[in-house]
Structure 1
Amino acid sequence: MDTSKKPEVWLRGSVPGIPAFLQPAAHALLQSKEEVFKYTEAFPEALIWEKPAGRASVGFHLQHITGVLDRMLTYAEGNSLSEEQFAFLRREGEPTEDRKLANLTTDFSKKVDQALEIFKATPEAILTEKRTVGRKKMPSTMLGLYFHAAEHSQRHVGQMLVTISVLKIA
């Protein structure tokens, strides 16, 4: 995925099929997806669970952005989290044999693709419908949840870049 000569996603025009109000979220998720692959391209597998200065590992960031996106999509549908989602949340940051870099980046990529398909199927007229978050049922809307998922992924990709940069010079 060579994007080195392209402008950032938000400067490339509308994402086909995505409603206008969801374009910023789609742009941010696609930017996150591109940057995840760009920043991890030559990153050593042996370092994905390292925590420089006690900060979150690259593996954690990859698991977390995938998990948050999944959870926000669930809340946007008006559902509570499943036991599988709670189990995934508890395991974020735990290295296991199946949690290789390629698996983590692919999982995030697939979750972004799923989100974009959901965005395409979401009529703009329902984006302001009320939704709740978590066990405390904190108030939000579909649009708020989609935006948070996109913004949150961008934030963690930025943190992941810093972690990668530190680990590469260590």
Structure 2
Amino acid sequence: MAKLEVWQRGLLQDLEPLLQPVGHAILQAQEELHEYLHDFPAALLWQKPAGMASVGFHLQHLSGVLDRVFTYARNESLTPFQFKQLEEEGFDSENGYTVQSLMERFDGQIIIAMKQLRETDVNTLTEFRGIGRAGLPSTVMGLLFHGAEHTMRHLGQLMVTAAVVKQNHTNQ
């Protein structure tokens, strides 16, 4: 029997009902990422088929988006470290990232995001939150939801890119 998706397994412990879909989506992304990138070769991390974003970029972006968007939801500004990570998205490190290290970074961000979701007061969900230096309009709920949907969008892109580069590698 196929494993049930996270949302089909019931309520997440200590998470308000209004925030369940956000928690379900990011935990589902985490599970699928681990399943899909099991034994993915690090040599393929930075390949860009047809000029599209690399698997490495998507792995960095998955962590970065959750971090940045959830920071705005807390009504905080981004730190210099967060800006540095944003600038590095799409590029390998000096020492060379491994698939495992990038997945561990995402796993760490999931832990932080789930903690924040559990601590979010549902009475604040409609409060205004400005995004970035321009203060673009959003709400706590808008940002939390965007973090979840953006994560799932990039997971889908990562899965397609990974399949293409693995297939290209096999055919060489």
Q: How does 1:118-133 map to 2 (within 5 A)?
A: 118-133=116-131
SS at match of 1:33: helix
Structure 1 position 113 matched with structure 2 position 111:
yes
The amino acid across from 2:157 in the alignment is Q
Percent same amino acid among aligned pairs? 46
Q: How many Å separate the matches in 1 of 2:127 and 2:96?
A: 38
Structure 1 position 145 matched with structure 2 position 143:
yes
SS at match of 2:76: coil
Deviation at 1:5, TM superposition (A): 3.0
2:156 is matched with: 158
Render the CA deviation track for 1:2-44: whole Å, top value 9, x for unaligned: xx83111111111111111110000000011001111110211
Pick from 5, 15, 22 the counterpart of residue 2 of structure 2: 5
How many residue pairs end up in the alignment? 167
Q: How does 1:49-88 map to 2 (within 5 A)?
A: 49-88=46-85
Deviation at 1:135, TM superposition (A): 1.1
Moved over 3 A (4+): none
The amino acid across from 1:105 in the alignment is M
SS at match of 1:87: helix
Q: CA RMSD in A?
A: 1.1
Structure 1 position 40 matched with structure 2 position 62:
no
Q: How many Å separate the matches in 2 of 1:49 and 1:98?
A: 11
Which 5+ residue runs of structure 2 have no aligned equivalent? none
TM-score of the superposition, structure 2-length normalised?
A: 0.94
The amino acid across from 2:36 in the alignment is Y
SS at match of 2:39: coil
Render the CA deviation track for 1:64-92: whole Å, top value 9, x for unaligned: 01001000111011111111111110000
Q: How many Å separate the matches in 2 of 1:82 and 1:121?
A: 21
The amino acid across from 2:167 in the alignment is I
Render the CA deviation track for 1:129-149: whole Å, top value 9, x for unaligned: 110101110011111111000
